[in-house]
Amino acid sequence: MSIKIIIADDHQIVRQGLRTLLEKEPDLEVVAEAEDGRKTVSLVEEMHPQVVIMDVNMPELNGIEATRQILTRHPGVKVIALSMHTDRRFVLNMMRAGASGYLLKDCAFEELSQAIRLVLANKTYLSPGVAEIIIQDYVRGIPQQASSAFSVLTRREREVLQLMAEGKSTSQIAEAIHVSVKTVETHRQQIMNKLGIRSIAELTKYAIREGLTSLEI
């Protein structure tokens, strides 16, 4: 039986390219594609893949949060992060979220293929550049508790923060996560209280620094 894979990336042409590459390997099967984190989570529920290739930066729900949610419910699924950045924050948070591998988009396809085999054998695969970062941090004795959004804010709060930082209005957020406007308002207040921030502009900057959103509009 072939290995079932879901591809999550916000760019369709990248997904198509990856799919074509993956399907050249006879034992790999791409069973679904997702363009954002939320979609990825629900597709995992539905399709039960063994592996998820996950872009780190996605709209709606980022790859880190999506990974966390997927692994809470399906601890057996192997998530391989595929990212443009070697930003230590992304790497750290992604691995904390339970990813089995972290590859840079600037890698050869052969590396991805190899990574899939490795994670299925319960090993961890890191791109060379990424491994370096982790080792550097380790030898430098950098305190491994980035006391950030990921420790202060709850899951839901991070979700709401991301959507806010993407420019969504309260009602749009309410619609996106299927709760009432009032709930979103409460979350926002809670976030602002916890962070001691009082404006959307500063929240946005915070979210950018924490990697919850990017500078792109």
Q: What minimum distance in Å lies between the beta carbon of 48 and its own copies?
A: 25
Q: Which stretch binds its own copies (CB under 8 A): 39-47, 102-110, 137-145, 151-159?
A: 102-110
Q: What minimum distance in Å lies between the beta carbon of 26 and DNA?
A: 39
Closest by alpha carbon to 206, among 147, 148, 167, 145?
Answer: 148
Are 33 and 53 in contact, with CB atoms under 8 Å apart?
A: no
Is residue 177 involved in binding DNA (CB under 7 A)? yes
Give the phi and the psi of residue 28 in degrees, each rounded to 5: -110, 140
Q: Which two tokens stand for residue 107?
A: 């890698």
Q: Contacts by 97-106 with C-beta closer than 8 Å and gap 24+?
A: 97/64, 97/65, 97/67, 97/68, 97/71, 98/67, 98/68, 98/71, 99/54, 99/67, 100/124, 100/125, 101/125, 101/126, 102/126, 102/127, 102/130, 103/127, 103/130, 104/129, 104/130
CA dist., res. 204 & res. 167, Å (int): 9
The residue within the footprint of DNA, chosen from 104, 134, 146, 192 (CB under 7 A), is 192
The residue within the footprint of DNA, chosen from 198, 202, 208, 209 (CB under 7 A), is 198
The residue within the footprint of DNA, chosen from 138, 154, 175, 208 (CB under 7 A), is 154
Q: Binding string, 196-215, against its own copies, x = CB under 8 A?
A: -xxxxxxxxxx-xx---x-x
Which option in its own copies, DNA, none does residue 13 bind, with CB closer than 5 to 8 A by kind? its own copies
**Amino acid in the structure at residue 18:** L
Q: Which is nearer to its own copies, 158 or 168 (CB)?
A: 168
Are 125 and 79 in contact, with CB atoms under 8 Å apart?
A: no
Is residue 14 involved in binding its own copies (CB under 8 A)? yes
Q: Which is nearer to DNA, 77 or 203 (CB)?
A: 203
* Residues 122-141 within binding reach of its own copies (CB under 8 A): none
Query: What burial letters (b/e) apply to 178-191, b meaning 16+ CB within 10 Å?
Result: eeeeebbeebbeeb
Q: Which is nearer to its own copies, 88 or 96 (CB)?
A: 88
Number of residues in contact with DNA, rule: CB under 7 A?
21
Is residue 82 involved in binding its own copies (CB under 8 A)? yes
The residue within the footprint of its own copies, chosen from 91, 166, 173, 187 (CB under 8 A), is 166
Helix, strand, or coil (residue 179)? coil
Is residue 89 involved in binding its own copies (CB under 8 A)? no
| Residues of this chain that bind DNA (CB under 7 A) | 154-157, 169-171, 177, 179-183, 185-189, 192, 198, 200
